A and B are shown apart, each in its own frame.
Chain A
Amino acid sequence: GENVEQHPSTLSVQEGDSAVIKCTYSDSASNYFPWYKQELGKRPQLIIDIRSNVGEKKDQRIAVTLNKTAKHFSLHITETQPEDSAVYFCATRGSTLGRLYFGRGTQLTVWP
């Protein structure tokens, strides 16, 4: 099956700084790359996703970039705010319409 590695496992930034979380995957057939955010005591929720035919996607302060050749994709959060503090999970799908494979998560803390 797919192997998804996510780094770093913890990340602390000052409010207003940028945060970057990176994931690598093993299956070259992977074609869908979502990111989920889980606030403390809450359920994970999708914040952004990207398909394999797109290199970058932005939504306000968050963006995802994909490098299919190197098999890695990254989440970028700019102008971080305390409410961005959460655990972030990357995921991939190894084949068309198959199940998702999740990374282990990154605990992001934004200090005011």
Chain B
Amino acid sequence: DADVTQTPRNRITKTGKRIMLECSQTKGHDRMYWYRQDPGLGLRLIYYSFDVKDINKGEISDGYSVSRQAQAKFSLSLESAIPNQTALYFCATSDPDRGGADTQYFGPGTRLTVL
């Protein structure tokens, strides 16, 4: 789904470095999310935003921060990367319909390795 893009797709960094993962969407959705995927732990929510002025913490926000620069852009930052932040990171967008359905459209993912 080219409507949701993530950069970079792969990143190797060292402990203590600050890094930023970027997400852009052309779907016109107000809602955006950052998830982390680790084997056996599923998709865990880091932060989410329901509109440009709205930022909410998920279950695992410690060590992360986000910025919603525009409706189309949502960035995730690791202020000081540590090895246990090595994971696959997904950005997603959604737009609830009148019936209450809220399909999430995921980006291709960013594989982050912290050495």
Contacts and interface: CB of A to CB of B under 8 A. Distances in A.
Q: How large is the interface on B (under 10, 10 to 19, 20 to 34, 35 or more residues)?
A: 20 to 34
A49 B103 CA distance: 9
Contacts of A43: 1, 90, 106-109
A15 to B, nearest CB: 25
B96 A97 contact: yes
Lowest 4 A-B CB distances belong to which pairs? A104-B42, A43-B106, A102-B43, A105-B42
Given A51-B101, A102-B44, A105-B43, 12 more contacts: A9-B40, A43-B106, A43-B108, A44-B43, A45-B106, A46-B103, A49-B103, A89-B43, A93-B102, A97-B102, A104-B41, A105-B42
Q: How large is the interface on A (under 10, 10 to 19, 20 to 34, 35 or more residues)?
A: 20 to 34
Contacts of A100: 102, 104
B60 to A, nearest CB: 12
Given A44-B106, A99-B33, A100-B104, A51 B99 contact: yes
A99 B100 contact: no
Interface of B: 1, 33, 40-45, 48, 56, 58-59, 90, 96, 99-104, 106-109
Contacts of B109: 43
